[in-house]
Amino acid sequence: MHQPDLLAQQQQSGPPPWAPYVSYPHGAVVWYAGTFWRCEDGHTSGYEPDGAPTNNLHLWTPVGSSGGYSAQPKQKYQQQPYSPQQSRPPYPQQHPQQGYNGHPPSYSPQPPSSAWGQQGYYNAPSGSSPGLFAPSPHRPYSPSDNHEKDDTPSSGETITDSKNEKERGFGKSGVSSATSFFTEKANESLRYMTIRKEVSDAKDKDELKHELKGKRVWRTGGIGIWSYSEDQKEEELKKKLWKDWSDDHDAQDWIKVAKERREFYDKESKGVKPLFMWKLVEKGQRLPNDALPIGREQDGAVLYAARAWWEGGIHLGKAGHHLISGASISYGGAEITLDTYEVLCGPINEPYLVKWMTYRHGEVAAVQGWQPIEGGREKDGTALLLAKGDYENGEHPGKCLINDDHACVGYGGGELWVRPFALLAYANSDRR
């Protein structure tokens, strides 16, 4: 049967080595040339040796090989794909068959605070990593971390929150004050209540229609048109509503609704918002800063999960800065490139919110007692789940149908069936 693949189990010891073409946040600590280095200004590293810390003292400060960081956790997640030990040509030469637009991968993890030594190490996924990764957390994520104000008409939340880490009560020990503790508990309770209310609302046909028209954006995840329901009555309703809507609409209508969702997600608000969300990326735009790394190419280039309208359905595929158009989906045996699509985003500094459900050769994708992350829909309304699979020494995001024994991924202009495969799910139905 399927095996939960918890991201928290992928931990190693020591700080990450410096690597080229990685976006480092202020305060990041790396190992290079026999010593620790601290990032003084957020930037994307260049190719070695010009981009190395030793040649960029205005960006990096050497802090010694043993002193100053004894309080850091003795664990980290999988090693950066851009290892300085790898002998690789400059990045623009990596994908001659696809072309390259000149931008390096944009993975840019952001710590909950600038106290890097209290939060853990940031590391990109290796070949054996499921794709999502994060530093070791010291407190649960809560909506108050966004320091937002609620100005949406549908929300009655009135959460108060401090404006900086000092006001939140975090000192050098990294332990929150009693005020911060109870604020976070209140926020968690609010999210729990919002989930319960919206799960009930999602059973209402009119509420689902409002979602399709862009009049309703859910504040929590795992519900609505894009989420697969174990309750077959609910699932049949979602299938019918999507088919009816897609028969009368086209790609431009979908883009219009996707814009409404993105505006809601980007709008400053202290109300609850989904922890994971699909954000629209239009032609010429870069990926959002919170885009989730899901997989990688053979050479280590980061891949993200993408979805887009095609032939009346919303199909899943992959996105990356190195791809010519920005994204591609698989459909009808072909890999189709797109420059307007949605990309999966979420809190990359919290690994315990999701898990990969893995299926071996001969096993079929059956959802039992767990909630898949929102995916897409076929033209007839059949749910498509967010999947990934290994091919040619890379991990590629794709899609999977319920009860299929394979995932579909786009590669080299075609659509491939891959086994084994994994489906992305919420780790806990009360944390979404």
Taking the C-alpha atoms of residue 320 and residue 197, their distance in angstroms, rounded to an integer, is 36
Q: 316 CB contacts (<8 Å, ≥6 apart)?
A: 305, 306, 307, 329, 375, 376, 384, 386, 387, 397, 398, 399
Burial of 255 (0-12, 13-18, 19+ CB in 10 A): middle
Determine how β-strand 293-296 pairs with β-strand 334-338: unpaired
Longest dimension (CA), the chain: 65
Local confidence pLDDT in tens for the 432 residues of the chain: 444 433 333 333 467 899 988 888 888 888 888 888 888 888 888 888 888 998 888 888 887 654 333 333 333 333 333 333 333 333 333 332 332 233 333 333 333 332 222 222 233 333 333 334 333 233 333 333 443 334 333 333 322 233 343 343 334 444 445 666 666 666 778 888 899 999 999 999 999 999 999 999 999 999 999 999 999 999 999 999 999 999 999 999 999 999 999 999 988 777 888 999 999 999 989 999 899 999 999 988 999 999 999 999 999 999 999 998 999 999 999 999 999 999 999 987 776 889 999 999 889 998 988 999 999 999 999 999 999 999 999 999 999 999 999 999 999 999 999 999 999 999 887 778
pTM of the model: 0.62
Taking the C-alpha atoms of residue 196 and residue 272, their distance in angstroms, rounded to an integer, is 13
Strands (E), 243-373: 277-281, 293-296, 302-310, 313-319, 327-331, 334-338, 341-345, 354-359
Contact 134, 7 (CB under 8 A): yes
Extract the tokens encoding 25.
């946040």
Taking the C-alpha atoms of residue 134 and residue 292, their distance in angstroms, rounded to an integer, is 11
